[in-house]
Structures are given as structure tokens and as C-alpha cells.
Amino acid sequence: MKTITTILTLLLLTSISGRILACSCIGQRTVEEEVKHADAVIVGTILSKKIVTLTDSTILKIYPNDTTMRNSPMGKMKIAHYDLLVQDIYKGKITNDTLIIYTGLGGGDCGIKFEIGKKYIIYGEKETYFGQVNNDFKFPKAINTFWTYNCLRTTSYLQDEIAEIENAKRKYIDKDEVIFADPDSPPTFKDGGDIGLKKFIQENLRYPKTVDCIEEKVYIEFTVDTLGNVKDVEIKRGISPSVDEEAIRIVKLLKFISGTRNEQPIEVKMIIPISFTIKH
């Protein structure tokens, strides 16, 4: 009976291990689809690597006092832990200049083998793809920690890929809202926050005399510096030279409470829509 039990246990463990190591990617998302899907899109350089060993939680529950089973290699999984020096952030709430990137060791587990010192574009997820297959292994989760694997678009640094990422982000400005970068606290308009900002624009907007009928928005990108002042104003989507000029004038009048990261003021890029409406 003991022999039968041991065989059944090994079959169970082999089955568990086989499910986790099976890697299947059906097609690949476009850059725009991946930017929308990923929790983080980051450019950075790999600083270091170490191997992390995880233990099957089911084995721990079934054999709480059996050290042989608890330490069995069939109840273990090895994954790679990489430290990444952040250089550019296109998406994701990042609060440090270094990140932890987890992935498999390669081969059947869909992991990616990064090279130390090489620059990559990382598409990351907060939830590991392993957990979607089998929940027996408890994977590390923390702030500034992401998972990636070869079913995503993670790749060595490619300028063409970056250009597509930037184009994909520009499409987000169709949303009728203020779009912030990813500080801990975004800049706040000094005189009443978002409501005060809309009110200020409505009260101070001057329509060019050349405009007779209009119902459109100008989207403007600018940077709020550490003192809350506006700089680097740029039209992202305009209407006409005279209307765009008025939108720029309005934005240059704005005053903010600066954004922060780790409780320190930082410069933050913003994009806001300014509505121009004249109906006859």
C-alpha cells in the first residue's frame, strides 16, 4: 500500500509540474493592444539576476510534517529575479528608479533569458501568468515588481517599437479627462482642483475673432515643475493656429501644487483637453 501511495503521489506531482511548465502562446498582440493590456511598459537596463525557488503550497498542506515531501524537487519551482534600472516609463505606477522583474527560466515555462547590462522594453503584469495556470505556487508580489514572459511583447530595445508605443499612447488623449504621468500624487490645480481648473478655463478663455462656429477640443501637453509652474507647453492635437494659440495662452496662466513621488516634488507631464464651443 505504501508503494502504491508513493506512486500516486509522484504522478500527482508530475501532473502539477507538467501543467506549470507547459507554455502556449496563441498569436501576439499589436503594440497598441499590448500597451492597453500590460500593467507596466518600461525601458530599462538589466542590472543583476538571481534564482528564486518556490514551494508548492498544496504539498505543504498535504504533508505539513513530512520534510522529505516538502523538500522534494518535484514540489519546487525555480524562477528568475532580475533587477532593472528604469530609464523610461510609458505606463505603470513606478515609485523607484529600480524594479524587480520576475520571469521563468526559459523553455517550457515561457520565461525570458535577459542579459546583464542590456537594454530592454519590458511589458509587465502585476499578476504572474503562472497563477493563471496553477495556483499552488505562491509567487512574490510587491510594489515596483512585475512579471513578464515571452507571450508578451517584451524585447531588446528597438526604436521602431518605441515609436509605436508613443503612437499608441497618443491615442489615449481621445478621453475627455486630464491625463497624468505616474507620480504618487499628481499635480493639483491650486485654485480648486479639477473643478477649479475647469472653471478657470471657462472664465478666462477668449475666442479668436476669426472663429464663427466651433465645437472641438485642443489637447495640450505640458510639464508641471517642482514649484507648480507650467513649462514646455506643446500642442498634441490642435484645431487652427489662432485657436491653438489661445489654448497655449490659457495653459501658461495655470498654477499647480506640484506632483510628488516618495513625498518629494517631481516634474510631471500632463495632457489636458480645452473645449472651444460656439454654436449658431
For the chain, domains (ranges, CATH) are 23-170 (2.40.50.120), 176-278 (3.30.1150)
pLDDT band at 69; cut points 50, 70, 90: low
**Residue written as cell 499552488?**
136
| pLDDT higher at 261 or 23 | 261
Please give the pLDDT value at position 212. 66
Average pLDDT over residues 59-87: 72
Assess contact for 91 and 32: CB atoms under 8 A: no
Average pLDDT over residues 248-269: 89
- In DSSP notation, 202-247 reads HHH----TT--SEEEEEEEEEEE-TTS-EEEEEEEE-S-HHHHHHH
Assess contact for 76 and 58: CB atoms under 8 A: no
State the sign of the Cα–Cα–Cα–Cα dihedral 144, 150, 155, 156.
positive
The runs of H, that is alpha helices, within 184-273 are 193-204, 241-252
pLDDT band at 271; cut points 50, 70, 90: confident
Cα–Cα dist 259/225, whole Å:
8
| pLDDT higher at 211 or 9 | 211
pTM: 0.54
| Number of other residues whose CB lies within 10 A of the CB of residue 136 | 20
pLDDT surpasses 90 at 14: no
For residue 257 the three cell numbers come to 501644487
Q: Pairing between strand 256-257 and 214-224? A: unpaired
Per mean pLDDT, which range of 121-125, 142-146, 203-207, 260-264 is the poorest?
A: 260-264
Please give the pLDDT value at position 12. 40
pLDDT band at 251; cut points 50, 70, 90: very high
Please give the pLDDT value at position 196. 92
In the three-class reduction of DSSP (H, G, I as helix; E, B as strand; rest coil), residue 275 is classed as strand
Query: 144-183 pLDDT, tens per residue?
Result: 899 999 889 999 999 999 999 988 876 655 554 454 445 6
pLDDT surpasses 60 at 43: yes
Closest by alpha carbon to 273, among 175, 207, 151, 136?
175
Instruction: Supply the DSSP symbol for 114.
Output: P
pLDDT band at 240; cut points 50, 70, 90: confident
Instruction: Supply the DSSP symbol for 217.
Output: E
pLDDT surpasses 80 at 211: no
Average pLDDT over residues 211-226: 81
Query: 107-127 pLDDT, tens per residue?
Result: 677 889 999 999 999 999 986
Closest by alpha carbon to 267, among 225, 215, 209?
225
Instruction: Supply the DSSP symbol for 117.
Output: T
Instruction: Supply the DSSP symbol for 54.
Output: E
Number of H helices, E strands in the chain: 8, 14
Cα–Cα dist 21/12, whole Å:
14
